[in-house]
Structure 1
């Protein structure tokens, strides 16, 4: 099959050997990249599992406290208490390059650093359960952002791992064996041509020796007859 796709010359052999060397080096680099991506991916998966448990527990606790607060307060009082928030949160997104994968980064900043600014109501007409619920949501916000960040990072890294794995397999099972087969074919053809040339040279030499021998015999015969 290789003979139909390659010209068996020394120039082609040199070109294929260079390509093979580059492919082998690229294969090693891609394998290293895949292994490192897998290592970091598994670390993020473990962190995701722990963070998700914390976030779900925090949200569950906040919901319980809101239910308790609503049970102890009038609906109108609850709506008025939460109508005008005092604190604001701004989110800044960026990217970080990890093994040629751009993963997102999230940073948040509150309008004021005062922890009490999360309470947008007075304490006289509200339940303490409402305070606890608001505090629970404020505490879980950083973990929610971190969870969103690493979950998106996991998606992007999983996609890159799959691409890298396909490239590694293509090099390992298709391109490198194909080039090795072509190189083997060219070497075999060159050796065959060299052997044929040697045989032709030997035949030409034998013919020349035989011709010289006959010529010498004729000369001797002519000398004897004269």
Structure 2
């Protein structure tokens, strides 16, 4: 509350400095928000493309599985699938984007060779295995892109709330205090001038009276 602020010149200077700092902070936050919005829309485009690739990879993989079951038999395909014990490594590191830490996921690391002996495996089954590897890669790409998209979207909302708080609450509050302090100081200055004028008038009147008696 402005009424709780002592109306002194030092407080006036302090509030002016605070107002400048708050305005500068709001400007920096708006620049950050604008940069994040640009990054967000770029990621939206990348996310849509990753989704498209996932849908295509899914169609290719399940069509290849359909052919493998048709040509090699579901028993052969199932036995090779059960024999698959290869682990999946997904490298992950954090990236700083305009002060926001977002995960950067690398494509999954597959061994060059298939996780089972191709001897005795039908051509269709081998192709199905390759297509499902591509499907896993597409799933990881979608997850990575959409995770980054969500993190940046959350940061945009947070930054926007901070900008609104500064522009709608903090800065107006400081400006109100500045106006209050200035009003009180101006009133004091006016009262001091009025008092000085009265004192001067009294002194002049006394001098005139003394001169008349002399």
| TM-score, length basis structure 1 | 0.87
Partners of 2:131 and 2:74 in 1: how far apart?
A: 21
The one of 115, 133, 153 aligned to 1:158:
153
* Further displaced range: 83-92 or 36-45: 83-92
Quick check: 1:171 aligned with 2:166?
yes
Shift of 1:65: 1.5
Shift of 1:89: 3.5
Where does the alignment leave 5 or more consecutive residues of structure 1 unmatched? 220-226
Residue correspondences, number: 213
SS at match of 1:7: coil
Moved over 4 A (4+): none
Q: Residues 139, 3 of structure 1: CA spacing in aligned structure 2 closer, same or farther, 3 A cutoff?
A: closer
SS at match of 1:96: strand
Quick check: 1:76 aligned with 2:53?
no
Q: Is the 8 A contact 2:57 2:138 kept in 1?
A: no
Q: Residues 93, 209 of structure 1: CA spacing in aligned structure 2 closer, same or farther, 3 A cutoff?
A: same
| TM-score, length basis structure 2 | 0.91
Shift of 1:125: 4.9
Q: Is the 8 A contact 2:7 2:185 kept in 1?
A: yes
Task: Quote the residue 1:205 is aligned against.
Answer: 200
Quick check: 1:120 aligned with 2:116?
yes
Task: Quote the residue 2:189 is aligned against.
Answer: 194
Task: Quote the residue 2:40 is aligned against.
Answer: 41
The one of 140, 143, 146 aligned to 2:138:
143
CA RMSD, 1 decimal: 1.9
